[in-house]
Amino acid sequence: MRWYWIDRFIEFESGRRAKAIKVISLAEEYLHDHFPSYPIIPHPLIIEGVAQTGGLLVAEYNAFEEKVVLAKISKAKFHGDAVPGDVLTYTADVEYIKKDGAMILGTVHRGEELFGHMELVFAHLQNGHENRTLYEPRMFLQMMRMLGAYRIGHAADGGPLIEPAGLSGR
Amino acid sequence: MPTQEEIFDKIRTALVDALGVDDDEVTPEATLVGDLGAESIDFLDIVFRLEKSFAISIPRGELFPEDVLTNAEYVKDGKLTDAGLAEVRKRMPFANLDEFAKNPVVQDFGNLLTVADMCRFVETKLKATNTD
């Protein structure tokens, strides 16, 4: 299974906000175990989707130079269950991005309905972990391309979002 | 400059939000780790909230000098050396370290910081900001 829990960015404003959609399909294998004959996307996987939306937003702000990890889910509330056929919209708003990490306020909507909200804390790995290879920055870049961030995104100055120099190589 | 009560109220809100504890659990004597269950990553969250709430900047290691506790120069056999204690006292003038100094086991350090210490820390920061 590929660990992608969002399907496409529909908004990406560098350092400020990102919106992504997640289409839930009965073709996703885990739904047949959760639960047999009663498929519901587990809430932690929705949190992971919001974390991917927000994590890429934080990582892009620092040109993918920081090792951004989801450190803490301070708060998460859901108001129902999402099922195959639902389209969820994840919105990640930057509360702030600092040297040590970032905080994101996330919401989940199904259509106009507020389906869930959360606060996520991301850390920039330090104290000896900064040299650990968790992933290559290019992996994030490929994910950004595949999710369409550079097609629809905007830089902080309002211009088009561009790939960071030095991370090219299609 | 906010009053001590206003500082305490804002810190209580930050701790309730960051740690998911109840209002009445946040007393001046409560220790962040032992009584309120804070873990290391929570300090990042708490610092973020304090910075926002009080419009101050708290560089890493200022509230909790983790770099001293992991520095071989200051730690011997799991305890802070005299030099280590002196460094921590210098870095944390807002905390009462007298009890800890009797047997300065590094592992126990995390359980030292109380809500009252945090209030004094913020008060010091605010005074410094106001005189800048």
Q: Mind listing the pLDDT tens digit for each residue in B74-93?
A: 999 999 999 999 999 999 98
Cβ–Cβ below 8 Å for B44 and A96: no
Q: One-letter amino acid identity for B56?
A: I
How many separate domains does chain A show?
Answer: 1
Q: Could you tell me if residue A57 is inside a domain?
A: yes
Cβ–Cβ below 8 Å for B48 and A71: no
Check residues A76 and B128 and name the one with the higher pLDDT.
A76
C-alpha A72/C-alpha A117 separation (Å) is 14
A123 vs B: CB within 8 A: yes
Mutation target to probe the B interface, by most B beta carbons within 10 A, among A58, A97, A98, A124 is A98
C-alpha A167/C-alpha A59 separation (Å) is 13
Tokens of A74: 């301070």
The overall average pLDDT reported for chain A is 92
Helix axes B40-54, B4-19, angle to 10 degrees: 140
Q: Could you tell me if residue A168 is inside a domain?
A: no
Same structural domain for residues B32 and B79?
no
Q: One-letter amino acid identity for B58?
A: I
Q: Residue A127: which CATH number?
A: 3.10.129.10
pLDDT in tens, A50-83: 999 999 999 999 999 888 999 999 999 999 999 9
Check residues B130 and B22 and name the one with the higher pLDDT.
B22
Residue A34 appears among annotated catalytic residues: yes
Check residues B43 and A42 and name the one with the higher pLDDT.
A42
Same structural domain for residues B118 and B54?
yes
B71 vs A: CB within 8 A: no
pLDDT of residue A170: 47
Same structural domain for residues B5 and B43?
yes
Residue A97, domain extent: 8-152
Same structural domain for residues B52 and B4?
yes
How many separate domains does chain B show?
Answer: 2
Which residues of B, range 78-117, sit inside 8 Å of A by Cβ?
none
Q: Could you tell me if residue A170 is inside a domain?
A: no
Same structural domain for residues B5 and B38?
yes
Kindly tell me if the per-residue pLDDT of A113 is higher than 70: yes
A58, A123 contact by CB (below 8 A): no
Name the β-bridge partners of A76.
A118
B41 vs A: CB within 8 A: yes
Residue B19, domain extent: 1-59+113-132
pLDDT in tens, A90-103: 999 999 898 889 99
Q: How buried is B98 (Cβ within 10 angstroms: 0-12 exposed, 13-18 middle, 19+ buried)?
A: exposed
C-alpha B22/C-alpha B13 separation (Å) is 10
